[in-house]
Amino acid sequence: MDTVPSTFFSSLISSYNITSMSLTFTQPIMHSLSSLLVLGSLAIQAVFSLPDPSRVQEREAEILKRSVDSFIATESPIALRNMLCNIGSDGACVPGAKSGVVIAGPGKANPDYFYTWTRDSALTFKCIVDTFVSSYSASLQTEIENYVTAQAYLQTVSNPSGGLSTGGLGEPKYNADLSAFTGSWGRPQRDGPALRATALITYSKWLINNGYTSTVNSLVWPVIQNDLSYVTQYWNQTGFDLWEEVSGSSFFTVAAQHRALVEGSALAKLLGKTCTYCDSQAPQVLCFLQRFWGSSQGYVIANINQNSGRSGKDANTILGSIHLFDPTATCDATTFQPCSDRALANHKVVTDSFRSIYTINSGIPQGTAVSVGRYPEDSYYGGNPWYLNTLAAAEQLYDALYTWNRQGSITITSTSLAFFKDLVSSAAVGTYASSTSTYTTLYNAVKTYADGYVNVVATYAQSNGSLSEQFSRSNGVPLSAYDLTWSYAAFLTAAERRAAIVPYPWGETTASSVPAVCSYTSAYGTYSTASTGTWPPNQTPISGSPTTTTASGSNPTTTSTASSTSTSAACTPASSVAVTFRETVTTVYGQTIKIAGSVAELGSWNTANAVALSASEYTASSPIWKGTVTFAAGTVIQYKYINVAADGTVTWEKDPNHTYTVPASCATAVTVSNSWQA
């Protein structure tokens, strides 16, 4: 299934020439001062007119939403540009870096981050590939190809951790010219190969979907295969965590390893190959992952098999949860899906651990977003909040909102109850369908809470949009490495999830069964030197950008923005198609737009089973409700939109029914736009 088409990121990419990396900023970022002024006036109004408290909360939430909307609109092009500026050799911020090499940060002193980390690079390019899949860009494609070529070479570089087949893939960082870094460091770090495999698998899926399987076989799969072989051989051995400080078994690392093996095996099958060593080890990695859940503590223990003396409360675990997010999964606790009770309980414990220790969090009540650091015992540069961790706290909640919206319900268990009660004091254990007012209250509360974390970043970002690694726990001043590449990637992925733009599924729904008995073993795969050859030209989308359909009443007209140019062989027709419905309709707070229709996927005309749409893009000038539903190719559907009030009252739009035939073609994603029939 393709990612949800993104007009937002299409306009973002086309808004400037991304091959030009010279940076000049004159437009300041909107900080929270204006929001505070508005909130202050609202408070004065509340004193004199004594409005209904619930209405005050609604208005505060709307003010926050508009503030975050504005920040994201302004920061997004800056974040993308600054991120690309840190990638060689076109990146003007990192002169001397080889082509395709991601530099962690352009600074060479206090601290010196002018190196390339396998982990940071992979997470950065996972963000770039997801953006590329969402909205095709030839410039981004060139960056991706350069990255693959650089990694193929990097795998052959002997280093203090070893060589290609002797453990060298676990080397955490290299010099900007791709030579080995031989200084003292926390090595090995075993998350890098798994994360790199995931980034390259994502691009491979796009290539296969567009008819370029031969390119995957010759240039991408060999790099992936080496990484998968490393994972299956070493997953059961300790190494340093993502913060490079604790040697043991890390939740984030094991989570990345499980995902890589599952989707690596699936990719092998698409290529007519097998990855038996992936298949034998993936269930055991998942089994091991369960050991990180502290059932008595009520949170995920970040690192085990170590003696650091820490509490185990660590943003490592939030980052692991969002990496495991699969847009087709349920709220599965075994894979720590962002909406699962384990992940939500952990979110509360980890973020709460920073409430009392940071001065800038002082006085912020429970259920309101705070600045988030790495772990409460942190002392690096004074142990401050990190932009990327604060954004990860938001992203997990946006992921959860996406799943709840897709499945049409929210479940509260005894494990997650404390999380929900912070947001809605009357929350109780149970399952709440999207047709209920309780669901609406919970959903809106989580959305506002998530926006709060983005607003924290807006508050402490520099006026030119620059995001450093940290910001002061005392006064919010940016600290440590400036223009951290990972910070920009974290912002962009959080913004995508807020807009309900999700990545390819990774196979969670078929890989979440935990073996009855865990076997902590290993398996040996195949290592070989990957090609650094020339990329074929003109690997454009086989049918251009996703088809856009504009429907009015029962007579939709299809407007295709597809390119007619393609140099690939005929593609394999899609068996299923992700249809994104965009409905233009003005609503008031508490109302939810849903889509009901003639097929089971749309509830078979039963309003209780209708699919709720998201208001993530809704503005006063563009009141859009949107949602994505997957249908079998060729399905003919009739449908209508309904407006569900907070009390459950249902209002249907006027006749006639909309009629739409899901295309039976190579397209795996289409968009249908409608306006409310009054």
Q: What is the pTM of this model?
A: 0.78
Quick one: pLDDT at residue 564? 28
Beta-carbon contacts of 389 under 8 Å, excluding residues fewer than 6 positions away, are: 315, 318, 319, 372, 373, 374
Quick one: pLDDT at residue 62? 84
Give the strand pairing for 239-240 and 173-175.
unpaired
Quick one: pLDDT at residue 78? 95
User: How many Å apart are CA 159 and CA 182, to the nearest integer?
Assistant: 7
CA dihedral 435, 438, 443, 448 (to 10 degrees): 140
The one catalytic residue in 244, 245, 377, 617 is: 244
**446-497, pLDDT tens digit by residue?**
999 999 999 999 999 999 999 999 999 999 999 999 999 999 999 999 999 9
Q: Do 484 and 469 contact (CB within 8 A), yes or no? A: yes
User: How many Å apart are CA 252 and CA 191, to the nearest integer?
Assistant: 8
Q: Which amino acid is at 362?
A: S
User: How many Å apart are CA 445 and CA 452, to the nearest integer?
Assistant: 11
Q: Which amino acid is at 439?
A: Y
Indicate the class that CATH gives domain 7-510. mainly alpha
CA distances from 284 to 292, 336, 509, 553 (A): 14, 16, 16, 52
Active site (annotated) includes residue 90: no
Quick one: pLDDT at residue 491? 98
Q: Which parts of the chain have pLDDT scores under 70?
A: 1-54, 543-572
Quick one: pLDDT at residue 13? 61
Angle (nearest 5°) at CA 411 between 407 and 415: 140
**412-453, pLDDT tens digit by residue?**
999 999 999 999 999 999 999 999 999 999 999 999 999 999
Beta-carbon contacts of 205 under 8 Å, excluding residues fewer than 6 positions away, are: 267, 270, 504
* CATH entry 2.60.40.10 includes domain 547-675: yes
Q: Which amino acid is at 139?
A: S
Q: How long a stretch of residues is the chain?
A: 678
Q: Do 54 and 646 contact (CB within 8 A), yes or no? A: no
User: How many Å apart are CA 639 and CA 602, to the nearest integer?
Assistant: 8
Domain range summary for the chain, segments of one domain joined by +: 7-510, 547-675
Q: Do 304 and 378 contact (CB within 8 A), yes or no? A: no
The one catalytic residue in 120, 241, 263, 326 is: 241
Q: Do 87 and 100 contact (CB within 8 A), yes or no? A: yes
Q: Do 207 and 148 contact (CB within 8 A), yes or no? A: no
Selection from 419, 427, 425 nearest residue 400 by Cα: 419
User: How many Å apart are CA 89 and CA 101, to the nearest integer?
Assistant: 7
User: How many Å apart are CA 565 and CA 562, to the nearest integer?
Assistant: 9
Active site (annotated) includes residue 244: yes
User: How many Å apart are CA 565 and CA 570, to the nearest integer?
Assistant: 12
